[in-house]
Amino acid sequence: MRIDWLHFTPWASLTGGILIGLATALLLLANGRVAGVSGILGGLLRPARGDVAWRVAFVLGLFVAPIVWLAMRAMPPAQIDHSPALLALGGLLVGVGTRFGSGCTSGHGVCGVARLSPRSLLATACFMAAGFVTVFVVRHVLGR
Going residue by residue through the chain, which has 144 residues, state the pLDDT in tens, using 9 for 90 and above: 566 666 777 888 898 889 988 988 998 898 888 888 888 888 888 888 888 998 999 899 989 988 887 788 766 667 788 788 988 998 888 888 888 888 888 888 888 888 898 999 999 998 889 889 988 998 889 886
Amino acid at 35: A
- pTM to 2 decimals? 0.70
Each as own residue / partner, the long-range contacts of residues 24-32 (CB below 8 Å, 24 or more positions apart, any chain) are 24/106, 24/110, 24/111, 24/114, 27/58, 28/111
- Give the burial class of 37: count Cβ atoms within 10 A of its Cβ; 0-12 exposed, 13-18 middle, 19 or more buried: middle
